Amino acid sequence: MTSNTTSNTTSNTTSNANQDTIPLCVDLDGTLINTDLLLESFVRVLKNSPWILLFIPFWLLRGKQTLKAKLAARCDINIEKLPYNEALLSHLSEQKSLGRRLYLCTGSNIKFAEQISQHLNLFDGTFASDDNRNLTGSVKLKELNDKFSSGGYDYAGNETLDLKIWREARRALVINGSKVLKQKAEKLTTIDLFQEKKPASLKLFLKAARIHQWVKNLLIFVPLGTAHIVNSTDAFIASFLAFVSFGLLASSTYIINDLTDLDSDRCHHTKRERPFASGAISIQIGILFSGILLLSGLSLTLFLPFEFGIVLLVYLITTLSYSFRLKSMASVDVITLALLYTVRVIAGAFAIGVTLSFWLLAFSLFIFLCLAIVKRVSELINMEKQSKEKAIGRGYEVSDRSVLQSLGTSSGYMAVLVMALYINSTDVVKLYQTPEILWVLCPILLFWITRVWMKTARGLMNEDPILFALKDKSSWLVGLLSGLALVLATIL
């Protein structure tokens, strides 16, 4: 039922006095809002109580209205931040100003319907599903005909199921509908207003999958370099397959994370534009898309060592735990993020069958903890600018900023210390001809970490240090100089 951003709006509405006496009944899911409240409540309940999945089949056996009522009783939705159809709201406000009676008529549970009606303060009455009936299709048609009589109302809807109502209505408002649906409705009644639904673009799906975050999976190639087997074709192919497998799985979990984080995303100044928070892609499509990505990622493990598959499953379980619970726990969330970065390095080692270095693991854990804390501090700074005291869905308050900054910088410098100890160890002699050159990495890293934290403290970090590094010229220079030092230390 959910649709994407509306466009190509046409209207045949007139404002004569006779029309204003005819009530306008408005559907909710996919019409007034660009989402579906049944699915919204489902993902919220699933996030808080995953075991509820066991009860859903039994609730459905008692009727869809029971499922809606049970889910509604177990969760709350931030009604004010829902992705409303602003074009339709403007039209309804205009009709209301002309004295026309408006009614909300929805298959969603009465709890949410009444909350939305109260919030918008537009409707003269509300019809919705309750414990005894599912107000959709023929049931909704009977309700409208009993209340207003056949032909005594106009109806705004968005799907094929609404055709039977438009057959009895005086006029139709086809909202977030296809041209085919409009043509079918035109055969039944007069179209007052048409808003065409545009299918989600490839760009939107790539945004939902966060393809730009795949850059993090380049960490899988790190063991290939540290083991000095870059010229091995088999190892490179294995690393590449691991990279794609990890990317697909990570994209799947990003979607799951966004679906379980709708309320907090909608309260965020930039995250509210994400495809699912904005309603640009429906929740049901998101669930399907996530499943396809997940299965695709797991299928690639068939071509890789068994150990890599185990690491991938550990990543999946940890990420889901983070999405459903751990991200709301202060300190635990940043440590988990650091581990999720480090797991990529571990996966890369297993993919090519090399032994993990203690030094690499220690360095990875400290540097990624540093970056995870950068992300949180940046969020707190933005919250402070908006005069907020506590992050929604997170365990942090603005007052935690100074403590986190101290922990983050300490973690970054600890990573440099690990690098220095590694350069001075006996292990480095086995891999580098001139290990002394590697000492240049320490001041380079100290410069970059210090610069990142100064940018963060000034509020110039975009809440994602990885994306910042990709767009930052100084970070590119740091990467180039570090790579050059590694090459020279190897060949000289």
DSSP reduced 3-state for 404: helix
Q: Contact at 8 Å (CB) between 337 and 379?
A: no
Asked if residue 340 is part of any domain, the answer here is: no
Are residues 212 and 125 located together in one domain of the fold? no
Give CA–CA dist 127/132, Å, rounded.
13
Asked if residue 326 is part of any domain, the answer here is: no
| Percentage of the chain modeled with pLDDT above 90 | 67
Instruction: Output the CA–CA distances (angstroms, integers) from residue 55 to 47, 283, 312, in the order listed.
Output: 15, 21, 30
pLDDT exceeds cutoff 50 at 269: yes
User: Rounded mean pLDDT of 360-364?
Assistant: 89
pLDDT exceeds cutoff 50 at 27: yes
Three-state helix/strand/coil letters over 231-260? CCHHHHHHHHHHHHHHHHHHHHHHHHHHHC
According to the model, what pLDDT value does residue 18 have?
44
pLDDT exceeds cutoff 90 at 3: no
Residue that the structure tokens 């650091």 belong to: 338
User: Rounded mean pLDDT of 450-468?
Assistant: 86
Are residues 140 and 192 located together in one domain of the fold? yes
Mean pLDDT of the chain: 89
More confident residue, 25 or 17: 25
Q: How many distinct structural domains can be found in the chain? A: 3
Are residues 375 and 266 located together in one domain of the fold? no
Asked if residue 331 is part of any domain, the answer here is: no
Asked if residue 391 is part of any domain, the answer here is: yes
Comparing 70-79, 339-348, 390-399, which segment has the lowest mean pLDDT?
Answer: 390-399
pLDDT band at 472 (very low <50, low <70, confident <90, very high): confident
Comparing 90-99, 172-181, 401-410, 455-464, which segment has the lowest mean pLDDT?
Answer: 455-464
pLDDT band at 264 (very low <50, low <70, confident <90, very high): confident
Comparing 46-60, 290-304, 438-452, which segment has the lowest mean pLDDT?
Answer: 46-60
Comparing 21-30, 209-218, 273-282, 293-302, which segment has the lowest mean pLDDT?
Answer: 209-218
Nearest to 100 by CA among 157, 60, 156: 156
Residue that the structure tokens 């809440």 belong to: 463
| Percentage of the chain modeled with pLDDT above 70 | 95
Q: Mind giving me the DSSP string for 335-381?
A: HHHHHHHHHHHHHHHHHHT-PPPHHHHHHHHHHHHHHHHHHHHHHHH
Asked if residue 387 is part of any domain, the answer here is: yes
Are residues 180 and 314 located together in one domain of the fold? no
Nearest to 354 by CA among 474, 266, 236: 236
User: Rounded mean pLDDT of 141-153?
Assistant: 94
pLDDT band at 464 (very low <50, low <70, confident <90, very high): confident
Are residues 156 and 267 located together in one domain of the fold? no
Would you state the structure tokens that stand for residue 56, as one six-digit string?
Answer: 């859903």
Residue range(s) defining the domain that contains residue 400: 357-492
According to the model, what pLDDT value does residue 2 have?
39
pLDDT band at 4 (very low <50, low <70, confident <90, very high): very low
According to the model, what pLDDT value does residue 394 have?
72
More confident residue, 48 or 83: 83
Are residues 56 and 86 located together in one domain of the fold? yes
According to the model, what pLDDT value does residue 339 have?
92
Are residues 192 and 235 located together in one domain of the fold? no
Asked if residue 350 is part of any domain, the answer here is: no
Please report the sign of the dihedral spanned by the C-alpha atoms of residue 444, residue 446, residue 448, residue 451.
negative
The string of pLDDT tens digits covering residues 312-327 is 999 999 998 888 888 8
Q: Contact at 8 Å (CB) between 472 and 427?
A: no
Asked if residue 11 is part of any domain, the answer here is: yes
Asked if residue 224 is part of any domain, the answer here is: no
According to the model, what pLDDT value does residue 295 have?
96
Nearest to 272 by CA among 72, 84, 466, 120: 84
**Predicted TM-score (pTM) of this structure:** 0.82
Are residues 410 and 271 located together in one domain of the fold? no
Give CA–CA dist 427/223, Å, rounded.
15
pLDDT band at 289 (very low <50, low <70, confident <90, very high): very high
pLDDT band at 463 (very low <50, low <70, confident <90, very high): low
Are residues 56 and 190 located together in one domain of the fold? yes
Are residues 241 and 290 located together in one domain of the fold? yes
Are residues 163 and 189 located together in one domain of the fold? yes
Residue 31 is classified by DSSP as: T
Comparing 20-34, 84-98, 191-205, 455-469, which segment has the lowest mean pLDDT?
Answer: 455-469
Residue 180: which CATH number?
Answer: 3.40.50.1000
Are residues 114 and 141 located together in one domain of the fold? yes
According to the model, what pLDDT value does residue 355 have?
84
